[in-house]
Amino acid sequence: MQTEILTIENGLDKAAELIKNGDVVVFPTETVYGLGANAFDAQAVRKIFQAKGRPMDNPLIVHIADIKDIDKLAVDVSDSARKVIQKFMPGAITVILKKSELIPNEVSAGLSTVGIRFPSHPVAQAFIKACGVPIAAPSANTSTKISPTTAEHVYEDMQGRVPLILQGGSCQVGIESTIVDMTTDIPTILRPGAITPNMLAKVLGEVKTFSGKIVVAKAPGMKYKHYAPDCDMVVAESEEHAWAKYQESKNAGQNPVILARKDYLDRLNQNNQFEYINLGESNEEVMRNIYSAMHTAQDKYNFIICQDFGDEGVASSVMNRVNKASGGKRV
Ligand code: TXA
Ligand code: MG
């Protein structure tokens, strides 16, 4: 299969046509690129699992471009769920609700719930509208690889497995949506993201944060190894630790790189020469650039040393991904 990359101008009709014919299409969102199929077409949804090599017991998020569709896809939507929807959609959030009968088991992986997301990316919205059906989509990477934040990341990973990638530039948020389960007594964050616990608590009063430990795997995907670059990665507790590890790795004949914020790199840079990727100045920039940096790092280097960004605001969501990528290894 040939994989094409087309823009919204020259590719929208083709994308909608592919979806209507039960095929898959990769599309950009503000978080990461998604691998979409008609959410009502069980056969088409199976193609997503095939293209990704994803286990069938891991449910998919359903993407919409109109708030009104929520009442077709979900039942028993609580007032607090409506508040979250009102406040954060369209945007980087996925809301878990009780599913309606329209959702095939292939999408929900047999659960009684469904994750719904309304992306803010204009290309995502145009694509979903042109398809005329809700779009089931996971991130557009093969299982266990890093999520893609550019069309080129997708091409590199999925070339030959998908017919079409819609071009949408670099994802502005950069990590996957916050997932909040609105079916539990206290709303529960199953995956942290750009919408932080504080932001949700302001709307809901109370929210259970993602603990990092999965006692019961409510987001089944969280039990799989995820977001891992092809080479080893560690988190450094401090600049000193990063530098010591960098030297050790160099001496062992490796080709290491340090991923960090600008201020951190400036402190390291004073007397030292080393390979690095500058992730920017704010936590939002770090979030936007982290996956892209991991993609570059795994292509050019063979050992990644990453700054510990702490747990303020979205930094803690970034660290959730970094800790997965490093398998929790710290120096
Ligand atoms: O930002 C995002 O959410 C991106 C873009 C493409 O929208 N999508 C994404 O999908 O990250 P995926 O499949 O890579 O991750 C979805 C996660 C998985 O861990 C899955 O287990 C969980 O959401 N999930 C999906 N439906 C669920 C449900 N009904 N209950 C609990 N967890 C669910
Ligand atoms: Mg994913």
Radius of gyration of the chain from its Cα atoms, rounded to whole angstroms? 20
Regions in the chain scoring below 50 on pLDDT: 212-218
Atom of ligand 1 nearest to the CA of 140: 6
Residues 28, 168: Cα–Cα separation, whole Å: 5
- With CA atoms as reference, report the closest residue to 25 among 124, 120, 92, 153: 124
pLDDT at residue 211, rounded to an integer: 65
- Give start-end residues of each CATH 3.90.870.10 domain in the chain: 4-209
State the sign of the Cα–Cα–Cα–Cα dihedral 35, 41, 44, 45.
Answer: positive
pLDDT at residue 203, rounded to an integer: 86
- Pair of tokens at residue 204: 């809901």
Distance from residue 143's CA to the centre of ligand 1 (Å): 13
| Phi–psi pair at 277, nearest 5 degrees | -125, 120
Ligand nearest to the CA of 222: 1
**Highest CATH level, class, for 232-325:** alpha beta
pLDDT at residue 214, rounded to an integer: 31
Q: Where do we find the tokens 């979250």?
A: 84
Mutation pick for ligand 1 pocket among 63, 94, 166 (CB with most ligand atoms within 8 Å)? 94
Residue 59 near residue 115 (C-beta atoms within 8 A): yes
Distance from residue 182's CA to the centre of ligand 1 (Å): 14
Residues 289, 314: Cα–Cα separation, whole Å: 13
H helices of the chain, in order, are 8-20, 42-52, 70-73, 79-88, 105-108, 122-131, 151-158, 197-204, 239-251, 262-269, 283-300, 315-325
Q: Could you tell me which residues are beta bridge partners of residue 236?
A: 307
Residue 112 near residue 121 (C-beta atoms within 8 A): no
* Residue 265 CA from chain centroid, whole number: 26
Residues 63, 73: Cα–Cα separation, whole Å: 10
pLDDT at residue 223, rounded to an integer: 54
Residues 164, 4: Cα–Cα separation, whole Å: 5
Max CA-CA distance within the chain?
Answer: 63
CATH homologous superfamily of 4-209: DHBP synthase (3.90.870.10)
pLDDT at residue 76, rounded to an integer: 96
Burial (0-12, 13-18, 19+ Cβ within 10 Å), 112: exposed
| Phi–psi pair at 322, nearest 5 degrees | -65, -40
How many C-beta atoms surround the C-beta of residue 325 within 10 A?
A: 25
pLDDT at residue 80, rounded to an integer: 92
Distance from residue 147's CA to the centre of ligand 2 (Å): 6
Residues 109, 105: Cα–Cα separation, whole Å: 5
Q: Where do we find the tokens 């497995």?
A: 161
Q: Could you tell me which residues are beta bridge partners of residue 20?
A: none
Identify residue 184 by its one-letter amino acid code.
Answer: T
Binding-site residues, ligand 1, Cβ < 6 A: 29, 31-32, 34, 58-61, 94, 96, 108, 111, 113-115, 117, 137-139, 176-177, 179, 190, 218-222
pTM of the model: 0.85
Residues 99, 111: Cα–Cα separation, whole Å: 9
Identify residue 92 by its one-letter amino acid code.
Answer: A
- Give start-end residues of each CATH 3.40.50.11030 domain in the chain: 232-325
The answer for 174, left when phi > 0, alpha when psi is -120 to 50, beta otherwise, is: left
Distance from residue 297's CA to the centre of ligand 1 (Å): 25
pLDDT at residue 218, rounded to an integer: 47
Residue minimizing CA distance to atom 30 of ligand 1? 219
